[in-house]
């Protein structure tokens, strides 16, 4: 962890990987949510979208979390007082609850959604909430870099804070 | 050049401490949206992901949404740029990012679109185009982040 914090290139590369994963895997979440809302790829079954992307989304999530742990762990004393960091983790926890609520009746049984003539409300709710929560996570994540702790002697400016 | 440095937008951006972060949030959310949707086509070209749909179907379904995302990216980007134009212009990472972005956009709307929609390219060509597209867009993201570290 000390190595990551003090290295020249490693920390930004880890953060870039974290960001690149948002870009590459974010679209899978967007696609799933748009399909659940019924606004994209409407002529193909919901099951195709959910089943096709399931393991890739999980892989992306694992990489994201691994990068995130390295980022936060290497600068734990900077992240600990940061309210945006805790907001982000809270939103991630809400996403976990979202999964618990919607997995049994939406994500684990997409064929059932396809068999009904219109998309059930619970599927649309899952998609809409997912979009809102994930957008929140991304925004909170970016805002982490803007938090300035109250002035203390010897506070070191984190590398990811914007230039003054 | 003087106008780029001192204009109304720059003043608005620098007088409120929230304008830049909000513009950035739009920028990041929008690129996650658009690059992600392009990545869906790329994954399919690479033969993974939503395999029951053809690359052409995915490309056609995502095209309007991708365009919307890119529009927000390309509108929020200059807002960020104008907050400190001179710094960005001299930042090597920013220069790299814009170069990669131009190539990525051109590639996306020419070769990538053609191969994705045609369904008649060989698997090797499809995989190459998908890989190049992913590489280009990931380069843009890396370039963007390194602006703060350059």
In chain A, where the domains are located: 2-146
Mean pLDDT of B100-123: 94
Name the residue among A99, A105, A108, A107 with its Cα closest to residue A129. A99
Question: What pLDDT is recorded for position A1?
Answer: 79
- Look up the pTM and report it: 0.89
For A97-127, the pLDDT digits (tens) are 999 999 999 999 999 999 988 999 999 999 9
Band of pLDDT at residue A141, cut at 50, 70 and 90: very high
- Beta carbons of B49 and A56 less than 8 Å apart: yes
> Rounded to an integer, what distance in angstroms lies between the CA atom of residue A160 and that of residue A95?
25
Residue A164 has pLDDT above 60, yes or no: no
Predicted pLDDT of residue A16? 95
Residue with tokens 């739009």: B26
Q: What is the ipTM of this complex?
A: 0.88
B29 closest CB neighbour out of A41, A56, A135:
A135
Amino acid A156: pLDDT: 60
Q: Report the distance separating Cα B146 and Cα B150, nearest Å.
A: 6
Give tens-digit pLDDT for A57-82. Answer: 999 999 999 999 999 999 999 999 99
Q: What is the dihedral of CA B80, B78, A132, A135, to 10 degrees?
A: -50
Q: Look at residue B1 in the predicted model and tell me its pLDDT.
A: 62
Across the interface, which of B50, B51, B145 has its CB nearest the CB of A12?
A: B145
Return mean pLDDT, chain B: 92
Whole-number Å distance between alpha carbons of A164 and A47: 49
If you average pLDDT over residues B86-92, what whole number do you get?
95
Min distance B122 CA to chain A CA atoms (Å): 22
Tell which residue, B65, B44, B42, has the closest CA to residue B54: B44
Between CA A22 and CA B145 the distance in angstroms is: 13
CB pairs under 8 A between A and B: 112
pLDDT for res A5: 77
Which residue does chain A place closest to B37, by CA atoms? A27
* Number of domains into which chain B is organized: 1
Is residue B6 very low, low, confident or very high in pLDDT (cuts 50, 70, 90)? low
Torsion angles phi and psi, residue B101, rounded to 5 = -65, -45
- pLDDT tens string A42-60: 999 999 999 999 999 999 9
Mean pLDDT across B48-71: 95
Mean per-residue pLDDT, A9-19: 93
B28–A139 CB contact, under 8 Å: yes
Cβ distance A30 to B65 less than 8 Å, yes or no, reads yes
d(CA A63, CA A84): 21
Q: What chain B residue is nearest to A23 in terms of C-alpha separation?
A: B32
Range of the domain at B54: 2-146
Q: Which of B21, B61, B138 faces A40 most closely, judged by CB atoms?
A: B61
Alpha carbons A49 and A35: distance in angstroms, whole number: 8
């Amino acid at each position: 962890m000390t190595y990551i914090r003090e290295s020249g290139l490693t920390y930004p590369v880890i953060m870039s990987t974290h960001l690149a994963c948002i870009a590459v895997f974010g679209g899978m979440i967007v696609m799933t949510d748009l399909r659940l809302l019924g606004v994209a790829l409407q002529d193909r079954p919901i099951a195709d979208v959910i089943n096709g992307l399931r393991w890739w989304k999980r892989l992306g999530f694992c990489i994201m979390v691994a990068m995130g742990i390295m980022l936060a762990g290497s600068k734990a004393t900077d992240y600990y007082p940061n309210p945006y960091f805790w907001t982000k983790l809270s939103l991630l926890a809400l996403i976990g609850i979202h999964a618990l609520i919607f997995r049994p009746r939406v994500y684990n049984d997409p064929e059932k959604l396809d068999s009904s003539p219109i998309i059930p409300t619970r599927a649309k709710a899952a998609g809409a909430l997912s979009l809102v929560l994930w957008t929140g996570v991304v925004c909170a994540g970016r805002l982490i870099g803007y938090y300035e702790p109250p002035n203390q002697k010897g506070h070191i400016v984190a590398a990811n804070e914007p230039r003054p | 050049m003087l106008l780029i440095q001192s204009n109304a937008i720059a003043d608005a951006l620098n007088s409120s401490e929230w304008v830049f972060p909000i513009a950035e949030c739009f920028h990041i959310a929008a690129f996650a949206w658009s690059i992600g949707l392009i990545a869906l086509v790329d994954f399919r070209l690479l033969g993974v992901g939503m395999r029951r749909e053809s690359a052409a179907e995915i490309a056609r379904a995502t095209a309007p949404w991708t365009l919307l995302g890119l529009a927000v990216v390309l509108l929020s980007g200059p807002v960020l740029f104008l907050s400190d134009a001179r710094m960005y212009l001299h930042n090597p990472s920013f220069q790299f990012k814009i170069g990669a972005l131009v190539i990525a956009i051109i590639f996306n709307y020419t070769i990538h679109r053609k191969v994705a929609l045609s369904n008649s390219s060989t698997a090797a060509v499809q995989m190459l185009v998908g890989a190049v597209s992913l590489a280009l867009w990931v380069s843009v993201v890396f370039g963007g982040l390194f602006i703060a570290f350059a």
